[in-house]
Structure 1
């Protein structure tokens, strides 16, 4: 297995699926000639060159690149350039679909949307030779094969320079660096216009809006072909199918390397590993900023905040269709329906 070191700052703001980093320690570089320090090797090397030039009076100052539209600051010219190209305050043109309410920043996105959702021509599917997976675009099939069917021993992996994390895709590593190692002033936050929610990923903001703020008629539901289940997110439908409807022979099991445990979903195995096998010093705790509660799972923190600290007006209630019962968590509503109304519904 070969390892590639990642060093391209231009990919910091790509938004893709990610994995948890198993350490929070960051190496700090200290200058032996002055009190300058930094976590970035590229900045440290840049600073060291300043000592060789006697004309530099203040060697502890490093140039910052500032966005004129929103005030975003960075030490990297390429990060500044990438940010400037995508700064929401600098973007005026949106490409709107003439057949639905979708809109895109780039014309290529609109073309893909129309070809996928509104084309009158028969869809050309790209099918995987190893499993039932199929995709409308060749790039998605390629990514699927690399993720699920490529032998890790023959694959070049991208390694994080700040911790032991490594990834199959450069873009996945970029997301890891952005979420785990960027300082707060260098993070580009994606903020909801209707509530205080903010996130480091535009994809998370989109999911939040779909889940919390869209009217029922505007939601695009992903429906199961086998039962009445439907979801607002495609990945949730995929997890449902794998968990409830996939034939045992077609399931790709994710096995724990430290015990006999195995899971149908990679995320379930990851949660198991964090809960059961991670050393105490390597656990990343998710802490509540309003009380002493902390947890190993981000989803548990979200449930805690919703249950304990959210204002009544901000709570999204899950209401039972058969009685006045309502719950703050969908799982509680499901348990209620099974316990109280399942016989009636059947």
Structure 2
């Protein structure tokens, strides 16, 4: 890879921050990003850089660009390629530079290396480069990713950055255009909320489908997690579950406390903790909640509403997740294995209890569904 032979540093942008190309860390000052990349990633990860490429173009910081082989200073990436081919017997085609956008980053302004124009905002510079020099007009100003058309850009902006003033009252998703919000409400909420057999109304299609399964014995397709045996109706939810629970992916950071989360949705739920606002009050016990959905779930305790029934033993549960954690008790599958004595268990809870009682101390490896002993008894 040509980047191994130079001082150039790949990077990303996240809002007003400079984002590490490899580990998602963000820095306000570009010098801090350079220092971090060189110290933590450069030597060991540039050789596998293709595994980190998620965009059509790599953004490259070529400030103070030098050749690592001879320390000669160079102005542009094309100059670097010519230099390596001529003086170091390399054979890099100039077409390599077509998948790279070069920048000379400072903390003052952002300049276009093609025409010399200066911009105060990085997003404005990106838009200029894509429109004037790359002929790609649909660019996200938040992260710099470009798209084939405006529709793809709008979908990306809403899904990834939650930018928009029109909010769905059911799921809190935001939309740039009111018409798109209305279509979303109609297709994903209003037209799918009624039970087809008893006309009971639910907040979402997912809750309705759960009701159909639990009450009317309607079959649901299942996607089973190999790690913990929990089942999902939608494959996307299984994928998210694996990434969130077992792989522990946390790519979104709270700017208030620094905690990291799987998605913008979980970040929004977390941010409520930084606020004292709890506008939803239980009329029975006066307990207050930050979200309406939390209050509705709490109210089932007072009404003893147990809509989720186990078809095997008849035990009923208030929450769908409680039923899911109960179902493995009726199965012969034992997916949770103690690595100390290799005894297997049906549920994580019983496995943890075993480790506490038998091996005294242990810590959970949630990615593998196992427990490793910190201190073995001799």
TM range (shorter): 0.3 to 0.5
Q: Normalised by the size of structure 1, how large is the TM-score?
A: 0.39
Greater relative contact order, per chain length (Cα 8 Å cut-off, separation 6+):
1
Q: Normalised by the size of structure 2, how large is the TM-score?
A: 0.37
Q: Which has the larger radius of gyration?
A: 2
